[in-house]
């Protein structure tokens, strides 16, 4: 008896606005209205300025470390644009653009990388978790948030962002299996920028796409051009609808590229081919939207000039606000760890204050303001 | 790490350009003394052990002096660039510089503006201490909450006496006025199961002597390559000799001192068995002296005191020495040095009833003899049956040092000495 074929698979790759400026009018119909395209472009430009300034803050010793977001802005921005304001965002560290679009003040990200944990205390009405630095852990958090939402019969869903490297982690596979098996409303957005620090995607996955990892767990999966904000908004919008309507998760592989180094402690020139970088510089998501707007006469050079000035001002103001916040005191690491401080910690706290390692107790009298919580 | 820069912006201190970078090589300067630079403008290209990086200016100002030549290694924390200090009269630093000037500590509360509201949560009370907040929702474990639910009590109304004002089961019962031995529906609770019920286990941690024993035996069995050979000695005549001896001396006398003497004699004939191993040095030490370890059972566990120069003792002397050591082991007055330095050990398992054994060597010794219970048996000699006393003997050796043939020969020698009690009781030559 001939073997029956019990499973057929196909992975679609979605692209709406390509790097030559060709726009698929049918696929892109009503995805983003033109007025919003302008706003998204302006926002992305400000984020690009933020990224460049943040990088320089690190180089001049004003910030501890920083992972550049440059080149990957469209992934998180398109996704967050397509989501509801109370859908959970569960990011790692290359989603600044989407987080700022949701409403996170820029100084939170700056504070975080300046080593001030208060930058991680996200206002509750923004529905986002702090940036996950360990790889892939946040995917399980997203599953938990979606599960809780479903249990409480809420309409909200969870959207997890992670890199290509995270798909090699056990946490990723646990998250995917739970989400699919328990019918949870999760949108998994994999930012495949081709490199897990210095390890190319080919070296950690033998499958032709990362998208098909979702297939193995029985969920919808799709690949898309991550530098195409229309494609991002469309696939995430559809995934979000599937999550809300059917409580089914989706795995989205967004093809993108980080134009900078992994972090300020890295030098990508040591392992990446310059020709590859040049190829992707042409695919910059910012250039692509600008081309789209130019073609439709929705933006011009004078507006561009004003926008650049505004970006510089807004980012400088955010840096100013972040640097004006008094540094945390050495006692803070004890004070905010437990609801009730265990005895040993109280002893350590007291020892640190009197040992000369920590700050002088008189210094602690000064009040340090922090970024706001809920009013 | 962020790097603290001087407030007057006179000097730019080289920061950590990556994560944990201590120094960087100056590749080339991108500015010259006298240049007016903007914030974020590149001052120099530097190479760390990880990356070639551009170092930007943290503020706007006029460059006064560049510290270092291309090719020079600059340590993080040293001055890279000196700036003219702008004063009211001369310098006119560009606008962005003022951004940092308001950042003085102490005035921060007032200068935080739009977008940042001071959080009540982060406000510190007097002396920087938190003020205790009494939670509206009671703190309690799920088990305690369940008791409250079953008794129909709102746990949030129950004053908590536990740690951190947690509500305990006792608090719930006190609040309800019920005793914990009756349930909500008044059913009697089953009697508490006795601690020694079937399947119950008592956990005893490895501590003190028990741990020492465990560690020593574990090390021995993992290090020495054990093999055991057994034999029997016809001690019919020895038993008679022993009884005669005891009658003459007017005291009880066990087989043990006789066995020890037989072992001493056999060790002299087979010096390879009277040895220690030094695994660190990969050496076998053939010992000139015979120091016999003698396993003693105490309430704390096994101890092996040593009779030094055992071959020099008489039978009675050995019996006295063993009794003394055993007594001092049991009352824990034995010296540490008396528990070390053995060259061979004897374990008298027979005093508890065993016959054969596979004794574990008292490392770093290379052999140990287990003496079993002496039993009356029907024996055969030259085709004739006779009733006799038999002593089972089990010898374990470290095969790395003592081969099977050598070990067996040694054991045979012990048996022969035991079977010739007349020579055994003679004083050592």
Residues B26 and B139 in one domain: no
Say how many domains are in chain B.
3
Minimal C-alpha gap between B201 and chain A (Å): 33
Q: Do B124 and A324 touch (CB under 8 A)?
A: no
Q: Do A323 and B115 touch (CB under 8 A)?
A: no
H-type helices in B286-390, by residue range? 315-330
- B368 located within any domain: yes
The 8-class DSSP code of residue B129 comes to: P
Catalytic residue among A269, A271, A296, A373: A271
Instruction: Give, to the nearest 10 degrees, the angle between helix B256-269 and helix B315-330.
Output: 110
- B115 located within any domain: no
Distance CA A66, CA A313 (A): 21
Q: Do A65 and B12 touch (CB under 8 A)?
A: no
Distance CA A13, CA A224 (A): 5
Vertex B336 angle, CA B334 and B337, to 5°: 105
What is the distance, to the nearest Å, from the Cα of residue B60 to the centroid of all Cα atoms in its chain?
A: 59
- Domain that residue B25 falls in: 11-103
The 8-class DSSP code of residue B428 comes to: P
Residues B184 and B80 in one domain: no
Residues B238 and B96 in one domain: no
Contacts of A150 (CB under 8 A, 6+ apart): A183, A184, A185, A247
Vertex A162 angle, CA A159 and A163, to 5°: 150
Residue B35 has a pLDDT of 94
Residue A349 has a pLDDT of 84
Residue B2 has a pLDDT of 75
Residues B172 and B71 in one domain: no
Average pLDDT over residues A272-282: 95
Residues B92 and B173 in one domain: no
Minimal C-alpha gap between A319 and chain B (Å): 9
pLDDT digit string, tens, across residues A345-368? 888 888 776 665 555 444 544 444
- B3 located within any domain: no
Nearest CB among A56, A118, A324 relative to B112 is that of: A324
- B242 located within any domain: yes
The 3-state secondary structure of B80-126 reads EEEECCCCCCCCCCCHHHHHHHCCCCCCHHHHCCCCCCCCCCCCCCH
> A49: nearest CA in chain B?
B40
pLDDT digit string, tens, across residues B131-177? 444 446 888 999 999 999 988 888 988 888 888 788 988 888 888 87
pTM above threshold 0.90: no
Residues B349 and B386 in one domain: yes
| CA dihedral of B310, B313, B319, B321, whole degrees rounded to 10 | -60
Residue A1 has a pLDDT of 85
Distance CA A142, CA A148 (A): 10
For residue B97, pLDDT over 90 is answered with no
Distance CA A113, CA B276 (A): 62
Distance CA A285, CA A288 (A): 5
Q: Do A369 and B109 touch (CB under 8 A)?
A: yes
User: Judged by CB atoms within 8 Å, which residues 4-33 of B form the interface with A?
Assistant: 5, 12-21
Distance CA B2, CA A328 (A): 13
Distance CA A164, CA A156 (A): 26
The reply to whether B137 touches chain A by the CB within 8 Å rule is no
- As to burial, measured by CB atoms within 10 angstroms (0-12 exposed, 13-18 middle, 19+ buried), residue B216 is middle
- Here the CATH number for the domain that contains residue B72 is 2.40.50.100
Q: Do A115 and B57 touch (CB under 8 A)?
A: no
| CA dihedral of B190, B194, B199, B205, whole degrees rounded to 10 | 130
Distance CA B187, CA B183 (A): 6
Average pLDDT over residues A110-132: 93
- B267 located within any domain: yes
Q: So where are chain A's domains?
A: 13-324, 332-365
Distance CA B299, CA B277 (A): 30
Instruction: Tell me which of B18, B42, B50, B132 to substitute to probe the interface with A (most A C-beta atoms closer than 10 Å).
Output: B18
- Which residues of chain B lie closer than 8 angstroms to A367, CB-CB? 109, 123-124
Average pLDDT over residues A50-59: 96
Nearest CB among B51, B55, B58 relative to A62 is that of: B58
For residue B108, pLDDT over 90 is answered with no
The 8-class DSSP code of residue B72 comes to: -
Percentage, residues of chain A above pLDDT 90: 81
Residues B228 and B299 in one domain: yes
Nearest CB among B5, B52, B102 relative to A61 is that of: B5
Vertex B107 angle, CA B105 and B113, to 5°: 115
For residue A320, pLDDT over 50 is answered with yes
- Which residues of chain B lie closer than 8 angstroms to A320, CB-CB? 99-100, 103
For residue B79, pLDDT over 60 is answered with yes
User: Judged by CB atoms within 8 Å, which residues 159-198 of B form the interface with A?
Assistant: 164
Segments of B252-407 assigned E as strands: 275-278, 283-286, 292-294, 296-298, 301-303, 306-307, 344-347, 367-371, 375-381, 384-398
Nearest CB among B53, B54, B115 relative to A105 is that of: B115
- Here the CATH number for the domain that contains residue B335 is 3.30.559.10
Continuous segment of H or E residues that includes residue B364 = none
For the question of an ipTM over 0.85, the answer is no
Which of A179, A195, A290, A287 is closest to A242 using CA atoms?
Answer: A179
Q: Do A65 and B19 touch (CB under 8 A)?
A: yes
Catalytic residue among A262, A288, A349, A353: A262
The reply to whether B49 touches chain A by the CB within 8 Å rule is no
Minimal C-alpha gap between B76 and chain A (Å): 10
Instruction: Give, to the nearest 10 degrees, the angle between helix A34-59 and helix A229-246.
Output: 100
B226 catalytic per annotation: no
Quickly name the fold that domain A13-324 has.
Rossmann fold (3.40.50)
Residues B144 and B271 in one domain: no
Residues B244 and B376 in one domain: yes
Residue A50 has a pLDDT of 98
- B20 located within any domain: yes
Minimal C-alpha gap between B174 and chain A (Å): 25
Q: How many helices (H) and strands (E) does chain A have?
A: 13, 8
- B121 located within any domain: no
For residue B197, pLDDT over 90 is answered with no
For residue A162, pLDDT over 60 is answered with yes
Of A64-78, A249-263, B167-181, B349-363, the one with minimum mean pLDDT is: B167-181
From residue B38, alpha-carbon distances to B35, B60, B63 in Å are: 10, 4, 11
The reply to whether B108 touches chain A by the CB within 8 Å rule is yes
DSSP SS3 for A265: coil
Residues B155 and B77 in one domain: no
- B193 located within any domain: no
Minimal C-alpha gap between A218 and chain B (Å): 36
- Which residues of chain B lie closer than 8 angstroms to A270, CB-CB? 51
Q: Do A60 and B57 touch (CB under 8 A)?
A: yes
Residues B237 and B370 in one domain: yes
Residues B226 and B310 in one domain: yes
């Amino acid at each position: 008896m001939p073997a029956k074929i019990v499973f057929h698979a196909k992975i679609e790759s979605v692209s709406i606005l390509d790097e030559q400026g060709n726009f698929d009018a049918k696929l892109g119909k009503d995805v983003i209205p033109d007025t919003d395209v302008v706003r998204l472009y302006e926002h992305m430009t400000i984020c690009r300025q933020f990224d460049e300034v943040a990088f320089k803050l690190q180089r001049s010793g004003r910030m501890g470390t920083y992972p550049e977001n440059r080149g990957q802005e469209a992934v998180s921005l398109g996704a967050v644009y397509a989501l509801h304001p109370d859908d959970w965002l569960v990011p790692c560290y290359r989603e600044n653009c989407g987080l700022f679009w949701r409403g996170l003040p820029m100084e939170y990200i700056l504070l975080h990388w300046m080593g001030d944990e208060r930058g991680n205390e996200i206002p509750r009405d923004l529905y986002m978790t702090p940036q996950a630095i360990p790889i892939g852990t946040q995917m399980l958090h997203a599953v938990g948030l979606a599960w809780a939402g479903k249990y409480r019969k809420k309409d909200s869903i969870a959207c997890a962002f992670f890199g290509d490297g995270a798909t090699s982690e056990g946490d990723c596979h646990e998250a995917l299996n739970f989400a699919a098996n328990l019918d949870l409303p999760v949108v998994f957005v994999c930012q495949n920028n081709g490199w897990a620090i210095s390890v190319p995607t080919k070296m950690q996955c033998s499958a032709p796409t990362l998208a098909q990892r979702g297939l193995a767990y029985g969920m919808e999966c799709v690949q898309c051009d991550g530098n195409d904000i229309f494609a991002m908004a469309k696939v995430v919008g559809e995934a979000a609808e599937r999550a809300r309507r059917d409580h089914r998760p989706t795995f989205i592989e967004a093809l993108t590229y980080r134009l900078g180094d992994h972090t300020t402690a890295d030098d990508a020139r040591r392992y990446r081919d310059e020709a590859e970088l040049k190829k992707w510089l042409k695919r910059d998501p910012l250039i692509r939207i600008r081309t789209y707007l130019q073609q439709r006469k929705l933006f011009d050079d004078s507006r561009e000039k004003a926008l650049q000035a505004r970006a510089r001002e807004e980012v400088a103001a955010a840096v100013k606000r972040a640097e004006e916040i008094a540094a945390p005191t050495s006692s803070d690491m004890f004070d905010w760890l437990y609801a009730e401080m265990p005895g040993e910690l109280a002893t350590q706290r007291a020892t640190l204050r009197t040992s000369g390692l920590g700050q002088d107790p008189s210094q602690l009298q000064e009040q340090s303001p922090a970024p706001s919580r809920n009013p | 790490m962020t790097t603290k820069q001087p407030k007057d912006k006179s000097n730019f201190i080289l920061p950590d350009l990556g994560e944990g970078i201590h120094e960087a090589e100056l590749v080339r300067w991108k500015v010259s003394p006298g240049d007016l630079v903007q914030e974020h403008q590149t001052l120099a290209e530097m190479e760390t052990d990880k990356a070639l990086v551009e170092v930007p200016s943290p503020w706007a100002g006029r460059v006064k002096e560049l510290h270092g030549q291309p090719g020079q290694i600059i340590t993080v924390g040293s001055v890279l660039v000196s700036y003219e200090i702008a004063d009211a009269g001369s310098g006119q630093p560009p606008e962005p510089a003022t951004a940092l000037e308001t950042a003085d500590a102490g005035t921060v509360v007032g200068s935080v503006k739009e977008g940042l509201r001071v959080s009540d949560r982060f406000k510190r009370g007097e002396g920087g201490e938190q003020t205790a907040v009494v939670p509206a929702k009671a703190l309690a474990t799920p088990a305690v909450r369940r008791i409250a639910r079953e008794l129909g009590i709102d746990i949030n109304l129950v004053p908590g006496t536990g740690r951190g004002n947690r509500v305990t089961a006792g608090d719930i019962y006190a609040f309800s006025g019920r005793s914990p031995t009756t349930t909500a529906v008044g059913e009697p609770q089953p009697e508490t199961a006795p601690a020694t019920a079937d399947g119950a286990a008592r956990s005893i941690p490895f501590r003190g002597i028990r741990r020492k024993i465990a560690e020593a035996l574990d090390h021995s069995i993992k290090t020495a390559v054990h093999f055991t050979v057994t034999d029997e000695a016809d001690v019919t005549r020895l038993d008679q000799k022993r009884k005669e001896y005891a009658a003459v001396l007017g005291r009880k006398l066990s087989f043990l001192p006789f066995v020890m003497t037989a072992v001493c004699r056999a060790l002299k004939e087979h010096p390879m068995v009277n040895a220690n191993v030094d695994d660190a040095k990969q050496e076998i030490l053939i010992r000139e002296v015979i120091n016999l370890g003698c396993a003693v059972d105490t309430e704390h566990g096994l101890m092996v005191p040593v009779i030094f120069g055992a071959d020099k003792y008489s039978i009675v002397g050995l019996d006295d020495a063993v009794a003394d050591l055993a007594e001092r082991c049991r009352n824990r007055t034995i010296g540490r040095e008396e528990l070390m330095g053995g060259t061979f050990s004897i374990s008298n398992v027979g005093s508890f009833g065993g016959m054969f054994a596979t004794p574990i060597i008292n490392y770093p010794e290379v052999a140990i003899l287990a003496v079993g219970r002496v039993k009356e048996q029907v024996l055969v000699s030259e085709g004739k049956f006779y009733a006799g006393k038999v002593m089972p003997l089990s010898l374990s050796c470290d095969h790395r040092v003592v081969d099977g043939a050598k070990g067996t020969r040694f054991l045979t020698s012990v048996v022969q000495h035991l079977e010739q009690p007349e020579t055994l009781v003679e004083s050592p030559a």
